[in-house]
Amino acid sequence: MTDAYIYDAARTPRGKGRKDGSLHEVTSVALSARLLNAIKERNGLEGHAVEDVIWGNATQVMEQGGCLARSAVLLSDLDERIPGLSINRFCASAMEAVNLAANQIKGGAGNGYIAGGVEMMSRVAMGSDGAAIAVDPQLAMKTYFVPQGISADIIATEYGFSREDVDALGVESQRRAIEAIKDNRFAKSIVPVLDQNGLVILDHDEFPRPGTTMETLGALKPSFKDMGEVMPGFDKIAMLKYPHLDHINHVHHAGNSSGIVDGASAILIGNKEFGEAHGLKPRARIRATAKIGTDPTIMLTGPVPVTEKILKDSGMSISDIDLFEVNEAFAAVVLRFMQFFNVDASKVNVNGGAIALGHPLGATGAIIIGTLLDELERRDLSTGLATLCVASGMGAATIIERV
């Protein structure tokens, strides 16, 4: 089996995912095409250079519907002979795109791929696809469905994370992100978004909130308390599933949960022959990939079992990993990961995470792989693991190793 290498990693800046955000007037296909063009230009790709474009997206309706990957290829400057595949593993969609591309290469199905994803949360609202897991009574009742915010609060309750604990992680995410931005640590990957006249629309992440403190977060009300305790009363559903809990401690809010943003990400993956053919030097090897299903009610614990799986499958231990990117969907997700593996916080999300920078659902998986690679290079370290929790109870992970 051949190795799959990362040759380039790029992303757009993350814009505030609302109507007054900088990227709101940019369509999903236009943002995707912008990034595909950047990968083409940065790496001198001509003709039928890659086998496929695999593009993740979590809300595949309206402008993000159809085969968005193929639409993006056709709008871009890539050769029209390159097809496109759209996939959906909710928050892990872009990571799954990368993992799928890597495993296709390892299996001999093509020499090179572009993989990544997009989510325009200001233009296509989260949940607007009417997912069966939430709206089909038969399925929702079978799985004891609760919204993700309730799931995060269940994790905090089950594993003993206080409001102070989750707020402290939120403050630290902001501090680390601001420091990384000031130090230009994201510059290698960020591709500015331009308008039709070539003028810059956005060239930096606009979501971080400098000056965030424990006091400012302490003033925020829990976001999911009312839906849990009053109507529609999801706490009671959760306690039917987990009768050992006599209450749900509601600790999450906008300051310790992932930000709603717009963004896209892309990674150029190929085998050794691909790099030689295009005069490119590999930056890292994709050493292992994994995915797993988990409890659909608590939903967000996937990073723990999928990390156990990927380490076991690859014959590695947690001590073999130099840096971790654990998507900050909610603070309790990351706290549980560090608690379970006894991982030093100084190795996890060292440049902040989705609480400070935002979580464009279908793009985040490839964003954190690129961020991880850039930081391994900056610190001259070897091996990193990226992982995400996934809606409806799943987890995904990727281990990369510099070459």
Catalytically active residues, by annotation = 91, 359, 389
Q: Is the Cβ–Cβ distance between 193 and 34 less than 8 Å?
A: yes
Instruction: At 169, list the tokens.
Output: 């992680």
Q: Is the Cβ–Cβ distance between 48 and 227 less than 8 Å?
A: no
DSSP 198: S
C-alpha separations of 188 from 11, 74, 204, 226, 279 in Å = 10, 26, 12, 43, 19
Kindly tell me the burial class for residue 210, based on how many C-beta atoms sit within 10 Å of its own C-beta (0-12, 13-18, 19 or more).
exposed
C-alpha separations of 348 from 304, 322, 364, 373 in Å = 14, 9, 16, 13
C-alpha separations of 17 from 28, 84, 359 in Å = 12, 26, 10
What would the DSSP string read from start to end of 76-128? Answer: SSS-TTS-EEEE-BTBTHHHHHHHHHHHHHHTTS-SEEEEEEEEETTTS-TTT
Q: At what angle do helices 331-341 and 148-159 cross, to 10 degrees?
A: 40
